[in-house]
A and B are shown apart, each in its own frame.
Chain A
Amino acid sequence: MNKFQKIWARGDSFIWLTGATLAACMILISGLLLAILVNGMVYFWPSEVHRFELKNGSTLIGEITDREEIFETEGEKKIILGSRIQVKRGNRDLYGDDFIWVDEVDIVSRATPDAISVFERREWGHFYGVIQEYKEAGKTIASGQDEANQAFLKKIPEVEDILDEIKEIEKFSIGRINHAISRHRLNLKQLALDGIAAGSEVDEELAEIKKLEEQYEVHVKTLSELRKKLTSSLMVRAGDGQDKRIPLDQIVRAYQPNSFGLFDRVGYFISGLWEFVSGDPRESNTEGGVFPAIFGTVMMVMIMSIVATPLGVLAAFYLREYAKQGKMVSMVRIAVNNLAGVPSIVFGVFGVGFFIYFIGGTIDTLFFAEALPTPTFGTGGILWASLTLALLTVPVVIVATEEGLAAVPRGIREAALALGSTQFETIFRVVLPAVMPSILTGLILAMARAAGEVAPLMITGVVKLAPALAVDSFSPFLHLDRKFMHLGFHIYDVGFQSPNIDAARPMVFTTTFLLLLIVLLLNSLAISLRNRLRKKLTVSGL
């Protein structure tokens, strides 16, 4: 044996190899997470707003978002000519887009004056400028940066109260009336289907509808009165000297980042983060929050788990406990394993064909005939999407449960039988508890897979913007037929379907991070549950 063979046989190099591979994997994963985290979180951090004076005499206000070198290539050589910066100047209503590239050589001076305010608006994105005047009903109340700002800040709570009231009426009062009216309309249609075109029942429904419509008119009047009260506005001067009137009710948040101390920044950061996870999306999803998507994702995963777990567990129990082990069973097992590898879009297509058209269509003709041709269950919805994902993840649960069952010691089964248990009692009272950790393992894998799937959802019920959550205050409270939003689809939509990619990019990173976080959260929940069970079950000191 020569020296090299000795070294090989000792296996030291193998330890290094395995260790290095693991390290490489860890670096890749943590690098990915870090990149997502940093790119996303930057969005919420209030960075400084600069005022640039340019060579051509114009001024520009905005945040620096990117910087790159300008170069020419001459054969092999790269000649650096200078560099340019990307500035987010906002004010889309004035300039048409949010971003502009500026060559650094063109910049005469740059400053970060405290007076610059940033407005997050409900429409048209951010506005950067200096406050000039504060007006109410066309009359100037306060002028000058400081005074106008004070007056504006004083007014804001009142405006917010009015906005809340409007939202309350629009969402709940009018929503309730619309809901009731559409129910009565459906009743009418049902009566027509039953062959009753006139009579007391029809009149009753019509009277109800009329009453509701009157109520609706009252609310509309209240709304317009409330809207009339919103007369306050700010005159703000943009970087190039244009004045712009911003109504107070258009402002989501206003702040002066250049005067911020660290605490202000952290506070702003946290409030931005909170709005992101709890708010509704605005500006075709590129701004605002993603709460409906979080809600949709979590709810879908839960419905999926509720369906997939019993299905997979029962199937696995039959396969392992009752079925005669032979060729047939091994073929079924191979089929199940292969099912786990079928591309998810195939399941999506199956979901559309079977769940939506066949089952949903049948449900519609049987129970919701009055609403046809508008489909109720015969179109994509959270239930069908969840069931499709359940099909997709059932093999994972089956495989994990089966492995768990195979690992349950023969001894404890025999012990239970020897005490006079029937096979069912043995399975139910001894084997099932012992296999619980494996079932949870399967569930963890299933949830992780389901939360991240997008392709099958796109054809079974996910939408870019869902008008209502699947749970609300209208009976029957749980609307499984509704379409829903999903974080995975949100990433695709915002990142790749949005007209304003540059502005939406941080949202994509943050949404991605959030999706990872939710998967992590659901998993750690299941893992801690599993560990608690394991601790209860396993050998502690033999």
Chain B
Amino acid sequence: MEPAKPMKGEIRSFLSQKEGNEGKLSDTDHTGNSSEQGTSNRVMVNIDHVNFYYGEKQVLIDVCMEIPEGMITAYIGPSGCGKSTLLRCLNRMNDLVDGARLEGKVEIAGEDIYDTRLEVSDLRKRVGLVFQKSNPFPKSIYENIAYGPRIHGVNRKDELDAIVEKSLKSAALWDEVKDRLPESALGMSGGQQQRLCIARAIAVEPEVLLMDEPCSALDPVATAKIEDLMVGLKEHYTIVLVTHNMQQAARVSDHTGFLLLGKLVEFEPTKALFTNPRQQETEDYITGRFG
């Protein structure tokens, strides 16, 4: 059952057929955003034959995929297909759910993240998560950003100030909030709150940034801002995006995986998946025949 594992950096034309699932990245030339492929095609996340259960219920069935560094990878699929679960497997947020169980292997930068010797908090520092519903702490804007660095040992005021400014700038929020840093984060608009959450996540400088439908509660203007932000951020972070919105996946992502009923049906460069899906189910879904 143990599949031949691909070597790191071998993504370019990696193709493997695994029991009905396809974990595949083909030529990045197909995608619109491939200009940097030469420098950033290392495998960041390796999901290897993952089965996932909530109690008796199996939610992910033998998922295999390799997520390249420095790109945006999107998961699409109908509600309940397991895309959020798959995302949360990558920083072990599912550990919080009673009866959650994972079989298989997830590696990030070559390290097995389900190794019992690993501290979950260390993993989560390296793999940030932005939630569907913006969830700023009921603290000031400044304290929201400074929280992460603080718990990881940054205590000097000048260092924190620098991190706060840098993170807010990266999240394109600095100009809007620089005069009201001591105010409550809960007084911001929905879009601002979500960007604050992104800034908070990148303040701890993760390697991978997971985004769980970050725009589903936002209006089109705020959505556009966050999409621009994602494209800007992929220079420094590997982004994995779960979205309900196929247009969004098409707009921002480099690779797209389509999940259905817990199975990864197809995983292709975004352009290829949308223009020329290999599987019938994918075509049905993206053309709006169901879902």
A contacts, CB < 8 Å to B: 409, 411-412, 414-422, 425, 429-430, 433-434, 536-542
Contacts of B124 in A (CB 8 A): 417-420
Q: A418 with B186: in contact, given A411-B135, A412-B135, A537-B138 (CB under 8 Å)?
A: no
Q: Which residue of A lies closest to B144 (CB)?
A: A415
Is the CB–CB distance between B122 and A430 below 8 Å?
A: no
Is the CB–CB distance between A418 and B190 below 8 Å?
A: no
Q: How many angstroms from the CA of A208 to the CA of B138 in the assembled complex?
A: 64
Q: Which residue of A lies closest to B129 (CB)?
A: A418
19 A-B contacts, Cβ less than 8 Å apart?
Answer: A411-B133, A412-B136, A415-B131, A415-B137, A415-B197, A417-B96, A417-B124, A418-B128, A419-B200, A419-B204, A420-B122, A420-B124, A420-B151, A422-B121, A425-B121, A538-B138, A538-B184, A538-B186, A542-B190
Q: A420 with B184: in contact, given A412-B138, A433-B139, A434-B138 (CB under 8 Å)?
A: no
Q: Which residue of B lies closest to A419 (CB)?
A: B148
Q: A415 with B200: in contact, given A420-B151, A538-B138, A541-B187 (CB under 8 Å)?
A: yes
Q: Which residue of B lies closest to A428 (CB)?
A: B151
* Selected contact of B135 from candidates A414, A433, A541, A542, CB within 8 Å: A414
Q: Which residue of A lies closest to B130 (CB)?
A: A418
Minimum CB–CB distance from B171 to chain A (whole Å) comes to 15
Q: Which of B149-194 contact A (CB under 8 A)?
A: 151-152, 184, 186-187, 189-190
* Selected contact of B121 from candidates A412, A421, A430, A538, CB within 8 Å: A421
Q: Which of B178-231 contact A (CB under 8 A)?
A: 184, 186-187, 189-190, 197, 200-201, 204
Contacts of A540 in B (CB 8 A): 184, 186-187
Is the CB–CB distance between A420 and B186 below 8 Å?
A: no
Q: Which residue of B lies closest to A430 (CB)?
A: B137
Q: How many angstroms from the CA of A401 to the CA of B191 in the assembled complex?
A: 32
Contacts of A416 in B (CB 8 A): 137, 147
Q: How many angstroms from the CA of A537 to the CA of B81 in the assembled complex?
A: 36
Contacts of A415 in B (CB 8 A): 131, 135-137, 197, 200
B28 lies within 8 A of chain A by Cβ? no
B contacts, CB < 8 Å to A: 91, 93, 96, 121-125, 128-129, 131, 133, 135-139, 147-148, 151-152, 184, 186-187, 189-190, 197, 200-201, 204
Q: How many angstroms from the CA of A416 to the CA of B137 in the assembled complex?
A: 8
Q: How many angstroms from the CA of A541 to the CA of B180 in the assembled complex?
A: 14
Minimum CB–CB distance from B90 to chain A (whole Å) comes to 11
Minimum CB–CB distance from A402 to chain B (whole Å) comes to 19
Contacts of A421 in B (CB 8 A): 121, 151
Is the CB–CB distance between A429 and B147 below 8 Å?
A: yes
Contacts of B131 in A (CB 8 A): 411, 414-415, 418
Q: A419 with B138: in contact, given A538-B186, A540-B184 (CB under 8 Å)?
A: no
Q: List 17 other contacts, CB 8 Å, given A414-B129, A419-B148, A420-B123.
A: A412-B137, A414-B96, A414-B131, A415-B131, A415-B135, A415-B136, A416-B137, A417-B121, A418-B128, A418-B131, A419-B128, A420-B152, A429-B151, A430-B147, A536-B184, A538-B138, A542-B190
Q: A418 with B151: in contact, given A411-B131, A434-B138, A540-B186 (CB under 8 Å)?
A: no
Is the CB–CB distance between B135 and A409 below 8 Å?
A: yes
Minimum CB–CB distance from A123 to chain B (whole Å) comes to 61
Minimum CB–CB distance from B113 to chain A (whole Å) comes to 13
Q: How many angstroms from the CA of A331 to the CA of B124 in the assembled complex?
A: 35
With a 10 A CB-CB cut-off, give which of A415, A421, A430, A538 has the most chain B CB atoms. Answer: A415
Q: How many angstroms from the CA of A539 to the CA of B137 in the assembled complex?
A: 11
Q: Which residue of A lies closest to B183 (CB)?
A: A540
Minimum CB–CB distance from A518 to chain B (whole Å) comes to 32
* Selected contact of A419 from candidates B133, B186, B187, B201, CB within 8 Å: B201
Q: How many angstroms from the CA of A420 to the CA of B96 in the assembled complex?
A: 13
Q: How many angstroms from the CA of A536 to the CA of B139 in the assembled complex?
A: 7
Is the CB–CB distance between B137 and A418 below 8 Å?
A: no
Minimum CB–CB distance from B149 to chain A (whole Å) comes to 9
Q: How many angstroms from the CA of A1 to the CA of B97 in the assembled complex?
A: 51
Q: How many angstroms from the CA of A415 to the CA of B137 in the assembled complex?
A: 8
Q: How many angstroms from the CA of A540 to the CA of B185 in the assembled complex?
A: 9
Is the CB–CB distance between A419 and B147 below 8 Å?
A: yes
Minimum CB–CB distance from A61 to chain B (whole Å) comes to 68
Which A-B residue pairs are the 7 nearest by beta carbons? A411-B135, A420-B125, A537-B138, A418-B129, A540-B187, A419-B148, A420-B124
Q: A420 with B148: in contact, given A414-B96, A415-B131, A434-B138 (CB under 8 Å)?
A: yes
Contacts of B136 in A (CB 8 A): 412, 415
Q: Which residue of B lies closest to A411 (CB)?
A: B135
Contacts of A433 in B (CB 8 A): 138-139
Q: How many angstroms from the CA of A433 to the CA of B140 in the assembled complex?
A: 12
Minimum CB–CB distance from A479 to chain B (whole Å) comes to 42
Q: Which residue of B lies closest to A418 (CB)?
A: B129
Minimum CB–CB distance from B132 to chain A (whole Å) comes to 9
Q: How many angstroms from the CA of A429 to the CA of B125 in the assembled complex?
A: 17
Q: How many angstroms from the CA of A285 to the CA of B279 in the assembled complex?
A: 94
Is the CB–CB distance between A420 and B137 below 8 Å?
A: no
Q: How many angstroms from the CA of A415 to the CA of B185 in the assembled complex?
A: 14
Q: How many angstroms from the CA of A415 to the CA of B151 in the assembled complex?
A: 13
Is the CB–CB distance between A417 and B93 below 8 Å?
A: yes
Minimum CB–CB distance from B163 to chain A (whole Å) comes to 13
* Selected contact of A425 from candidates B122, B123, B151, B187, CB within 8 Å: B151
Is the CB–CB distance between A418 and B184 below 8 Å?
A: no
Minimum CB–CB distance from A408 to chain B (whole Å) comes to 9
Minimum CB–CB distance from A65 to chain B (whole Å) comes to 58
Minimum CB–CB distance from A328 to chain B (whole Å) comes to 16
Q: How many angstroms from the CA of A418 to the CA of B209 in the assembled complex?
A: 11
Q: How many angstroms from the CA of A333 to the CA of B131 in the assembled complex?
A: 32
Is the CB–CB distance between A542 and B151 below 8 Å?
A: no
Q: How many angstroms from the CA of A420 to the CA of B153 in the assembled complex?
A: 12
Q: How many angstroms from the CA of A419 to the CA of B167 in the assembled complex?
A: 14
Contacts of A539 in B (CB 8 A): 186-187
Q: How many angstroms from the CA of A433 to the CA of B144 in the assembled complex?
A: 13
Contacts of B148 in A (CB 8 A): 419-420
Contacts of B197 in A (CB 8 A): 415
Contacts of A425 in B (CB 8 A): 121, 151
* Selected contact of A418 from candidates B91, B122, B138, B189, CB within 8 Å: B91
Q: A418 with B93: in contact, given A412-B138, A537-B138 (CB under 8 Å)?
A: yes
Minimum CB–CB distance from B252 to chain A (whole Å) comes to 21
Q: Which residue of B lies closest to A425 (CB)?
A: B151
Q: How many angstroms from the CA of A433 to the CA of B128 in the assembled complex?
A: 23
Q: A542 with B201: in contact, given A414-B93, A416-B147 (CB under 8 Å)?
A: no
Minimum CB–CB distance from B62 to chain A (whole Å) comes to 26
Is the CB–CB distance between B152 and A542 below 8 Å?
A: no
Q: Which residue of A lies closest to B123 (CB)?
A: A420
Q: How many angstroms from the CA of A540 to the CA of B184 in the assembled complex?
A: 8
Is the CB–CB distance between B201 and A418 below 8 Å?
A: yes
Minimum CB–CB distance from B199 to chain A (whole Å) comes to 12
Is the CB–CB distance between B121 and A420 below 8 Å?
A: yes
Q: Which residue of B lies closest to A420 (CB)?
A: B125
Minimum CB–CB distance from A19 to chain B (whole Å) comes to 34
Contacts of B125 in A (CB 8 A): 419-420
